Amino acid sequence: MSSSSFATQLPLAPLGAGDLIDRAVRLYRRHLFVLIRTAAPPVIIVAAGWVIFSIALRQIILTFNTGDLLLNIFLLAVSSVIIVTGYLFILVVMGGATRTLVAHLLRNDPVTARATYSAVKARFWGLVGASLIMLIWISVAFSVVGYGTQIISFLIIFGTTLLALVAPEWLAIILAVVGILAVSVAGLWLFFLVIGRIVYVPQIMLVEGKGVFESVGRSFSLGSGNVRRLMAMTLFTTFGIMSAMLLLLVIIGFVGAASGINMRDTTEWPVWYAILYSILGPLSSLLLTPVWMLGLSLLYVDERVRHEGYDIELMASRQLPEFPDVDVTSPLGTALHSIKPKQPPSLPRPSPNIFNIS
């Protein structure tokens, strides 16, 4: 089977984590520049925030003037808002990317940035509200699981330190390392278990046409049993971004060394080099954020395949005439909800009264 046919053909069986990653990479290779253009606007916003953050932080370290200090603290706050807005925008665009993917699988529609942003525009404020809910949920989950993991790890270190007083030191070290690793893995699993319940909200809004809170409830019911695949997709994308960032770091390191810059003292860096260094993360994210978008989109489709036979519904939609876009449940409804506003029914015009003689 060719690469192109594999990328567009629907799976007849649920996909594992490796299959999802492989499928996302294949789609990414086929639509590389389109997907980069799609992911570019939110990533550019994030990059702009990091540039302002880097410059303001550098000036705070170097300045001794109270007025300049307050100004740069204000710029730090503004840049933090810009960065959060950029990440919020990434979540918004994910919903449009999923709709574009489903339309590509269903009708072989072209994958374009315009189609994605047209879908986002149709439900923009609802997507913003849903993304805010997701961002707050993810932040709270990260804080709670992170602090819990740290506390338990501290207790393990404290307990093994006491054990080292009455037992061989090597045994205490082994138990400490094993305990911390076990707690870290359990914390990571718990984190993905919590956020896995809410990751499908933008996709549900744009594919199924549901409201914000209805989409949240549906995401909770649909996101059961996706921990391993979501974790695998996230770790794959994270390691890919880190690898790309490391490669870029080596490149600008050579540029800095050739320019005679003292790499160890960041306060001596020229402004252009500090800006270049601050956009490494966003630049590497620009290359691999589309993989994350495709992965979540495919994961959403795969969840519906597992729980609802969505692949059969999509294939039926390919072969049969389109069902009326009415508010009924699958499989009687349309496989892809219309994002166009419904026109109110037109009232029949009254027939002229030919007997009315004034």
Helix (H) or strand (E) holding 82: helix 66-107
Looking at the predicted structure, is the pLDDT value of residue 86 above 80? yes
Of the ranges 4-8, 145-149, 308-312, the best mean pLDDT one = 145-149
Q: Compute the average pLDDT of residues 269-280.
A: 76
Residue 11 has pLDDT above 70, yes or no: no
Mean pLDDT of the chain, nearest integer: 78
Nearest to 41 by CA among 355, 293, 275: 293
> pTM for the complete prediction?
0.74
pLDDT at 260 (0 to 100): 78
Q: Which residues are CB-neighbours of 121 under 8 A, at least 6 positions away? A: none
Structure confidence at residue 59 (pLDDT): 79
Q: Are 334 and 325 in contact (CB under 8 A)?
A: yes
Rg (C-alpha) for the chain, rounded Å, is 26
What are the angstrom distances between the C-alpha of 67 and each of 64, 103, 145? Answer: 9, 54, 39
| Per-residue model confidence as pLDDT tens digits over 200-230 | 888 888 888 888 888 888 888 887 777 888 8
CA distance 241 to 186: 24
Q: What is the pLDDT of residue 231?
A: 86
How far apart CA 37 and CA 268 sit, in angstroms, is: 35
Give the pLDDT of residue 316: 61
CA-to-CA distance for 287 and 237, rounded, in angstroms?
A: 10
Q: Where are the domains of the chain?
A: 14-307
pLDDT per residue as tens digits for the range 163-182: 888 878 888 888 889 999 99
DSSP 3-state assignment of 143?
Answer: helix
C-alpha dihedral (303, 106, 311, 299), degrees to nearest 10: -20
* Burial (Cβ within 10 Å: 0-12, 13-18, ≥19) of residue 119: buried
Residue 273's pLDDT is what? 77
Report how far Cα 64 is from the mean position of its chain's Cα atoms: 40
Q: What is the mean pLDDT of residues 94-123?
A: 82
